[in-house]
Amino acid sequence: MKLALTLLTFLSTILMYSQEKDITSKLYDTYNTYKESTLSKRRIKHTEIQPLISKFKDRQGYKVQTVGKSIEGRSISLISVGTGTTNVFLWSQMHGDEPTATQAIFDILNFLSSNDFKVEKDNILNNLTLHFMPMLNPDGAEVYQRRNTLGIDINRDALQLQSPEGRILKRVRDSLNADFGFNLHDQSTYYNAERTAKPATISYLAPAYNYEKDINDVRGNAMKIIVFMNSIIQKYAPGQVGRYNDDFEPRAFGDNIQKWGTSAILIESGGFKNDVEKQEIRKLNYVSILSAIYTISKGSYKNIAISEYEKIPQNDRKLFDLKIENANYKLLGKTYKLDIGVQRLEVGKEGNKDFWYSSRIMDQGDLSTYYGYDTLDATGYTMISGKKYPTKVKNMAEFLKLDPFELLSKGYAYVAVETIPTGQLESPLPLHIVTGAYKVSSDLRLNVGINPTFLLQKNGSIDYAVINGFLINLKTKKGAFKNAMIFR
């Protein structure tokens, strides 16, 4: 009899999983129907989301509240929907430069307000009440920075509650006495799933609520939801999920929210190749969060084994944007073999709506335990310095007429422009712009912290160029590229 009951439970769990996976597939396939089209870039400002929030004020079944204001007086809103007794609280952009899930929240709200998936939505909204806080740190979002105007990390303000934003988060959590909390963040794109070359596209954490890292029902339920969400992400980004270290941080909101009785699920959006604006990761947030909400509404997460949580690989941080392997490097009459690791660092433009790249060599030497979004095995190639083009061009119009592939193939990586507009911040071609007086050394010296610009030569032929950290194949004339530098 006991065996029969065990088998029945197992079969029921498999059936629920297959039903929910089927919902997941439909959510993924129909995503563009609900994607909020007015949001397509990471650098979102408070003013951009106000019309999106306002449209729910008069919509039946929705409640929109201003729950407080930031230090600079920007409103912080809470959008609630559903009639269930289980409260699910989702908040995003606690850090102003972490907006991927903010976009996904509005995608989810569009889904919930549509006429589709009626059975599934009835199940969600009859069993749950969902509460969305799309932007907790609007002042940080305004200038695309992590911290708030006070200069503190709100996620380390759970004890002192020095910031109005932290006090708002605590007050809302307490007033809802939320059963589940989704703490939505972005992480560095340089995290990878431990011991693999795959980026940690999504990382999870069920924060500890004490130093002993005990697992009670509250934390255990968070772990079960994470196991379920991991199974979804694996379908669309296999091997690209990481798990944060769960050392207890007594100042952090996630750890304290777990301690206060809300099952806290930390979600971090990382990197995905060729997804600079994180739109594919936004889609994965939408699909996995909605699927998790559905499994909470059904209660099926209760049958998931907590032991599966520990099987998710830990986060590591061993990714570069570009890794050059086994290249020859000539220094003081001798030849050495080097790996080069490059990161492309974003520099915000005025108004913080866009950015350009100023890249750096982050490490060099033996990088065999590191990985790259792009990797070139440069065995047999020698790194050489790019030369300055001997002809000075008058202005940007003339500069844009140059053929960068021809010049790079001849060893030229720098071009002097007589008149460089004051507001010109970067070069739109894979050639650095310099002034006439700018000196370019013929002796290549590589060091951590310098701009990665060099050419790769074999048997007298220059086949590759690295310009501002972007790898360009001169044989195929291909390579991802955004900008080169201006050296005045």
Per-residue pLDDT tens over the stretch 388-414 = 999 999 999 999 999 999 999 999 999
- Residues 171, 271 within the same domain: yes
Q: Which positions ≥6 away from 450 have C-beta within 8 Å?
A: 360, 361
- Residues 268, 343 within the same domain: no
Per-residue pLDDT tens over the stretch 260-308 = 999 999 999 999 999 999 999 999 999 999 999 999 999 999 999 999 9
Report the domain count for the chain: 2
- Residues 405, 389 within the same domain: yes
Strand partners, 78: 65
Domain at 27, CATH number: 3.40.630.10
**What's the whole-model pTM score?**
0.93
H-run or E-run covering 434: strand 432-434
- Residues 323, 241 within the same domain: no
- Residues 214, 236 within the same domain: yes
- Residues 60, 86 within the same domain: yes
Supply the range of the domain harboring residue 51.
2-316
- Residues 408, 475 within the same domain: yes
Report the pLDDT value the prediction gives residue 21, as an integer from 0 to 100. Answer: 62
**Domain limit, last residue, from 264, 291, 316:** 316
Report the pLDDT value the prediction gives residue 469, as an integer from 0 to 100. Answer: 98
Mean pLDDT, to the nearest integer, of 201-217?
Answer: 98
Please calculate the CA angle 306-309-312 and round it to the nearest 5 degrees. Answer: 160
86-92 vs 180-186, strand pairing mode? parallel
Which DSSP category does 310 fall into? G
Report the pLDDT value the prediction gives residue 8, as an integer from 0 to 100. Answer: 42
- Residues 117, 261 within the same domain: yes
Report the pLDDT value the prediction gives residue 17, as an integer from 0 to 100. Answer: 52
Mean pLDDT, to the nearest integer, of 213-217?
Answer: 98
- Provide the greatest CA pair distance for the chain: 89
Q: Are 323 and 333 in contact (CB under 8 A)?
A: no
| pLDDT greater than 60 at residue 12 | no
Q: Are 440 and 386 in contact (CB under 8 A)?
A: yes
**What is the rounded distance in angstroms from the CA atom of residue 468 to the CA atom of residue 483?**
7
- Residues 254, 338 within the same domain: no
- Residues 205, 246 within the same domain: yes
- Residues 55, 75 within the same domain: yes
Residue labelled with tokens 């700018």: 438
- Residues 431, 305 within the same domain: no
Report the pLDDT value the prediction gives residue 22, as an integer from 0 to 100. Answer: 75
Average pLDDT, the chain: 95
Report the pLDDT value the prediction gives residue 81, as an integer from 0 to 100. Answer: 98
Q: Are 110 and 153 in contact (CB under 8 A)?
A: no
11: confidence class by pLDDT, cuts 50, 70, 90? very low
**What is the rounded distance in angstroms from the CA atom of residue 228 to the CA atom of residue 299?**
12
Domain at 380, CATH number: 2.30.40.10
The amino acid occupying position 33 is: T
